Structure 1
């Protein structure tokens, strides 16, 4: 009886060892990068702070996760087997700050002596094209589809004022605010801009516009006045964009892809950034010092597991309970030596903010 049990134990261990060896070999092969490879980045769909990833890769194909993108580009910049990067800007939805972060990642990659090439289908077919173009123009060279447009526009801000409607239905709004620049309640109390609100909106729009102009000018080696003149002419068709030095080539995606594969007269293996950044099965086994990243996304609320009322029921809120729990866990973890707090929020509860601030301190 004992002999039979011993045989069963030995067989079980042997099977487990063989299976573990097979998994390890498969994991090694799937993460192996050939020399002279090119990292391929495609921006399509909503750009989000972080995506849900596993050993099978990103679960959502309709978003670009900044955390995955950042990990892939940072790692590839230091990888001697990666010699260049292609950036395909298809149809991303992103804010200016997100575009600026991606630009910084591309420039950091280039600073390691590696080449970059970008492809644009169009920059704002029926809307604003500033952010897609800003990302593309950070590359060494920019290609545009022959029928594409460059819809480079100025910046506008819109405010909604409902006081007239409230007066009409007999409602008198009553809000308290701390100072003239606290203008959130103006939509209920005013029929038009207050001087302070107009000042802050004009300041914000002007700052955003200046940043857009400066980025385009720096990356394309054009003066601010030239960029402003081109914005006044928008939308700009592909031929004019080439003539005005906003792009370097007019070609279709398959032509761009083929050219990248043979960049510089060499044959390159193209590696998708989501596969490249996918964690190894054994990557979580290592210990040592760590940096924790805590994400504060959405409307700031007290409590736990809220949702952002400004973005809909499918979005999460930045709740005081979740944030304080995250900071407490980081504080009590002896391996965590530092914390990066990334905030993407329109604001919200003052009390919840104070609770989060207390835990940070």
Structure 2
């Protein structure tokens, strides 16, 4: 398996095509005063799309991405893109940090310096990491698989091979959302490879719960909330889990449709009561992520993970992992805040449990320094415990 340096460079033709498509947008109507009740509001969309067309600078995004060493390699037929940044200390701890959905490797870039050079931010250079941030296959600059059944566990296999290719026989991991599902299954399949695993999405993947499982009151309340949340908010998941190809024609053809589809999630999964997603992310960050999906034409491949979940071997009643687990809870997403005893059903070796008291689903993008501190603190505990 060869490793090649990779420079991100989108053609002017693609950028001009994007602007032309935006100009030709046919806007829908809207019930006056409906705000977010029916979905993403028309006024918000017209404002951010106008910024996308007239003010957003993709070349600045490219410059930020290319500040870090980007590479590509081929593993199991997948052309895998990743960023690899060495830590400043004498013995950095290797860590893999996949992104979530609908996100991209771009959302994890701001966390890099806090992990690779902690001494610049009041930390100790001996706590530094070698950071590997892959684009999950079918997202961004990694190719997709056109085979049915390409699921989270197959991605875990690829990521383990990537880390071994980079010379890391054992490594740590941090993830959330789709990244957490991949890493959680990795902890089941490759525990000997894992130094420790930190997540802001505990409970993903879910432990096995049967109708005969005796639950605590806290677990019953949590699972009831999750069921209600799914009924109220997860229409997208049902669609993508049944007929993802149908919506792909719209999302791959209309940049405004794609932006609405993605940005609604960034709003709902951040802090809906605030009413303003721009209190949490600037327009350039939001549109950089949307632009990556548009310019790489990967929304359909990324959406297919919902469908492929039916092929996945999820944890059963005999599954658990002894890999040390660290948990940092976001503040606004209750369905991502399971009680500790629920998480312990799959990860009994919890060595760190912290409430961040800020942020939502995309907390590593909102608060990269805070999340990095939690990661460093957790792995310090793991290294200390391993030395006993």
- TM-score by structure 1 length? 0.24
- TM-score by structure 2 length? 0.23
| Greater RCO, CA 8 A, separation 6+ | 2
| Structure exhibiting the larger radius of gyration computed from Cα positions | 1
Q: Which has the higher helix share?
A: 2
